Chains A and B, each alone.
Chain A
Amino acid sequence: AQTVTQSQPEMSVQEAETVTLSCTYDTSENNYYLFWYKQPPSRQMILVIRQEAYKQQNATENRFSVNFQKAAKSFSLKISDSQLGDTAMYFCALPHMDSNYQLIWGAGTKLIIKP
């Protein structure tokens, strides 16, 4: 069975610091995608970054980057120069092997950026 595990229920850092959120997963697929979504208090689920498993290069989007370790099935999210607006729940997600539109989600990490 495919699973996604986020082992950090909550984290807090000072504004401008760098923070890394952890995610491990399990899948028997060889080609797949991984996503990080952000859910602020408004509750809208917002795509942060995505990684294609066949690409060795780690994805980067401005202050957000990932450390993708395919053999270890690890997919961590690094946020640099954190801002107050980064305060949110962060979910790691993996598409189900039978359907790209059925995402399997981790339990989420609540990230608090302190001024």
Chain B
Amino acid sequence: ETGVTQSPTHLIKTRGQQVTLRCSSQSGHNTVSWYQQALGQGPQFIFQYYREEENGRGNFPPRFSGLQFPNYSSELNVNALELDDSALYLCASSFWGSGNTIYFGEGSWLTVV
């Protein structure tokens, strides 16, 4: 049990639709990051948030966007869904500082049909 919770756990969307995934970080953690994990692959970094601002981004298009709220919870939004967006989306939280361990939630399974 990491204290990082994500919702929903599973969802199915149609190509072209928009989706919002939510994450509550572990108590005391002020940094949140999001990863996409396709089946059979390792996670790919999408972006991270600290103090409600994005301060790091991986190789993902602008239709992937996010928010971090004052309570450090976070949202991942994906617009204009494509079939290749089908994946497990992992939220991770940590406390800002060198070497602090990153803890992951259970993930949200997104299927785009």
Contacts and interface: CB of A to CB of B under 8 A. Distances in A.
B26 interface: no
B100 A100 contact: yes
Q: Which among B35, B45, B90, B102 has the greatest number of chain A C-beta atoms within 10 A?
A: B102
A47 B92 CA distance: 11
Contacts, number: 62
A22 to B, nearest CB: 15
Question: How big is chain B's contact interface, by range?
Answer: 20 to 34
The dominant DSSP class at the A interface is strand
B31 A43 contact: no
Contacts of B56: 98-99, 101-102
B107 A43 contact: yes
Interface string A15-38: 000000000000000000101010
B52 interface: no
B58 A102 contact: yes
Interface residues of A, number: 23
Contact of A101 (B2, B48, B90, B107): B48
Given A43-B107, A45-B90, A102 B33 contact: yes
Interface in B64-100: 88, 90, 92, 94, 97-100
B43 A103 contact: yes
Interface of B: 2, 31, 33, 35, 37, 41-43, 45, 48, 55-56, 58, 88, 90, 92, 94, 97-107, 109
